[in-house]
Chains A and B, each alone.
Chain A
Amino acid sequence: MDTSQLLKGVLDLAVLAVLRDGDGYGYDVLRRLRSAGLEDVADASVYGTLRRLFAAGALTSYVQPSEEGPHRKYYGLNKIGRDLLAESTKTWNHFADTMSVLLIEEAT
């Protein structure tokens, strides 16, 4: 099964999750997702997700100069973002449990 299809639904959650560990700029978030095992994530969709979460008020944004070149725009979780993460985590866990039970029942 193509994981990129699955990713579409949970990319918000994944991005919120990696930002929980600390603020990050776009490419940093992308790298963290990749190193966490989400190899199939598309570059542009991560940037798009960051914009959407920011537009929804779940993220803060600030520019910070970098020593090796251009300024970078960092994104971080705010209160809304943390609440959203907690809620989404609950939803995901419930969904994942349901799916797991369903798949086990089907398999037997």
Chain B
Amino acid sequence: MNSTLTGAVAVYLAQVRAELSDLPPGELEDVLDDVSGHLAEVAAESEAEPTAEALQDRLGTPRQYADELRTAAGYPPRAEQSSDQAGWPALRWGLIAATVGPFLVVIGGISPVFILLGLITLFGAAFFGVRALHGNDPRIVLETAQGQRLAASIRNLVDQIPPNLRHELVSIGQPVWWVARGVVGGGGFFALFGAGAVAVVGALAGAAVSVWIGRRTQQDRRWLWYVVPLNVVATVIVPAWLAFSFVGGSAYGLFGGYNDYRGSSGTDYAYASGLTMDGNRIENIYPFDEQGRQVKVRLYDQDGKPLKVEIQDCVGYWGTDPSSTRPSESNQFPQAMILPDSEGNTSADNCKDSDKAPFIPPAAPVSSPPTATTTPTPSAGTSTKPSTTPTTSPSASAPNSPRPSVTLTISPTR
């Protein structure tokens, strides 16, 4: 009988049920059978589905209706005081726990500790819920001022939907939701611990349990205390899970993902390997001595590791002999670079390369005994002291300079 009631009528019935929730279960179901029949008759009298206001005009508030019923049927008066005083603090904490718990589970991606905390909180919510209920209906929540305001606004929203569509939505959407929630819940839970096959079985079992709980809840609203927090979790996890599988992750990734990034070679940075300066790739180095003459050097870092770049001369670029044992990198600078022809092209059969700097180096600052050939201007130019200077080829050393310093000029990035 209950299933034929929709909208405001169903809400009214549920409110009457809440008022009578202290009755023994058998008597409660019997009398509500009558009440739902009554409401169905009242609803059938009007053309359109009655609104909550129309029902109250006709029958009084749900509380008045329940009180009349209670008096006429000779039921004992409602034991309101005791259950309320015991129930309210538990209810408040239960609601807080039911709100915080799912949140903790969701941010559990940060650390499994949060998942554990969240689950404990949810169990706490269920415990407080049972305490608060103690014979009450979950609608006790709606009897608070905020609850009533929220319920009214939701009811207005629902009233916007045409009644027949509303009925379709509930009758089709509800089972779909039950199955979806069960599949994700059961599957996700087992996916945490086991392989794919276990997760599939878990998903099927979850769907079955979820449908069973859904049907139980329809009959006994006290199950809502367990179902509502679980639904909150599911409404967050279902979309998150779907989104996650769309971007190609897996359920495992949610909880183990953070380890994957640790120690990876950082492929996001294109120039993480090779020689760089300020994030720009160094393709070649043109060393000059103090007198501004280009010199040949081999470069090493502080650990004696050669500072190598890829060889970009004609042989290296066109790769005429792949079986060659010639290394693809070298720490000998300057390296020969391919010279484009007059039209800016390079070709395999007519390739020219040169190790001559494609720029004129700025004059070195005065840092050594002046010679006749240099007219130094103390401005730009980097000068490194010999402590960082690698071995230079003897021919490049100036004979009159006992400690030759080498000017490292970095070729501009193209």
What is A's interface to B at a CB cutoff of 8 Å?
Answer: 11, 25-27, 30, 42-52, 55, 68-73
The interface-forming segment of B38-46, B336-344, B356-364 is: B38-46
Q: Which of A25, A30, A46, A70 contacts B72 (CB 8 A)?
A: A46
Question: Are A72 and B38 touching (Cβ within 8 A)?
Answer: no
Q: Which of B4, B33, B70 contacts A69 (CB 8 A)?
A: B4
CB contacts (< 8 Å) of B58 on chain A: these are 43
Complexed CA–CA distance, A87 and B230 (Å): 57
Question: Are B38 and A26 touching (Cβ within 8 A)?
Answer: yes
Question: Are B38 and A48 touching (Cβ within 8 A)?
Answer: no
Instruction: Show 26 residue pairs from A and B whose CB-CB distance is below 8 angstroms, ordered by the A residue.
Output: A27-B38, A43-B42, A43-B58, A43-B59, A44-B35, A44-B59, A44-B65, A44-B72, A45-B69, A45-B72, A47-B35, A47-B69, A47-B72, A48-B68, A48-B70, A48-B72, A48-B73, A48-B75, A49-B73, A51-B30, A52-B72, A68-B44, A69-B44, A70-B1, A71-B1, A73-B33
Q: Which 8 A-B pairs have the closest CB atoms?
A: A48-B72, A48-B73, A44-B68, A45-B72, A27-B41, A48-B69, A51-B73, A44-B69
B258 to chain A, nearest CB (A): 56
Complexed CA–CA distance, A45 and B73 (Å): 7
CB contacts (< 8 Å) of B74 on chain A: these are 48, 52, 55
Residues of B20-53 contacting chain A, CB below 8 A: 27, 30-31, 33-38, 40-42, 44
B288 to chain A, nearest CB (A): 100
CB contacts (< 8 Å) of A11 on chain B: these are 72
A64 to chain B, nearest CB (A): 11
Complexed CA–CA distance, A70 and B72 (Å): 25
Known: A48-B69, A51-B34. 13 other contacts (CB 8 A): A27-B38, A30-B38, A44-B68, A44-B69, A45-B68, A47-B34, A47-B38, A51-B30, A51-B31, A51-B69, A55-B27, A70-B4, A70-B36
The total of interchain contacts (Cβ-Cβ below 8 angstroms) comes to 77
B73: nearest chain-A partner, CB-CB: A48
Cβ of B71 within 8 Å of any chain A Cβ, yes or no, is: yes
Cβ of B66 within 8 Å of any chain A Cβ, yes or no, is: yes
Most chain B CB atoms below 10 A, which of A69, A70, A71, A73: A70
Question: Are B35 and A45 touching (Cβ within 8 A)?
Answer: no
B31: nearest chain-A partner, CB-CB: A51
Q: Which of B33, B59, B72 contacts A49 (CB 8 A)?
A: B72
Complexed CA–CA distance, A48 and B73 (Å): 4
Q: Which of A25, A49, A55, A68 contacts B37 (CB 8 A)?
A: A25
Complexed CA–CA distance, A49 and B59 (Å): 16
Question: Are B68 and A70 touching (Cβ within 8 A)?
Answer: no
Question: Are A48 and B71 touching (Cβ within 8 A)?
Answer: yes
B69 to chain A, nearest CB (A): 4
CB contacts (< 8 Å) of A52 on chain B: these are 72-74
Most chain A CB atoms below 10 A, which of B1, B41, B72, B74: B72
Contacts A44-B59, A45-B68, A49-B72 given: A70-B38 contact, CB under 8 Å? no
CB contacts (< 8 Å) of B38 on chain A: these are 26-27, 30, 43, 47
Question: Are A70 and B73 touching (Cβ within 8 A)?
Answer: no
A44: nearest chain-B partner, CB-CB: B68
CB contacts (< 8 Å) of A50 on chain B: these are 34
Residues of B187-201 contacting chain A, CB below 8 A: none
CB contacts (< 8 Å) of A68 on chain B: these are 44
Question: Are B72 and A26 touching (Cβ within 8 A)?
Answer: no
Q: Which of A55, A69, A73 contacts B34 (CB 8 A)?
A: A73
Complexed CA–CA distance, A24 and B6 (Å): 25
B149 to chain A, nearest CB (A): 27
Complexed CA–CA distance, A25 and B38 (Å): 9
CB contacts (< 8 Å) of B36 on chain A: these are 70
Complexed CA–CA distance, A66 and B66 (Å): 26
B64 to chain A, nearest CB (A): 8
Question: Are B37 and A26 touching (Cβ within 8 A)?
Answer: yes
Complexed CA–CA distance, A49 and B31 (Å): 11
B59: nearest chain-A partner, CB-CB: A43
B78 to chain A, nearest CB (A): 14
Complexed CA–CA distance, A35 and B62 (Å): 25
A12: nearest chain-B partner, CB-CB: B72
CB contacts (< 8 Å) of B72 on chain A: these are 11, 44-49, 51-52
Most chain A CB atoms below 10 A, which of B30, B64, B73: B73
Complexed CA–CA distance, A47 and B37 (Å): 10
Question: Are B31 and A47 touching (Cβ within 8 A)?
Answer: yes
Question: Are B73 and A73 touching (Cβ within 8 A)?
Answer: no
A30 to chain B, nearest CB (A): 8
A61 to chain B, nearest CB (A): 8
CB contacts (< 8 Å) of B59 on chain A: these are 43-44
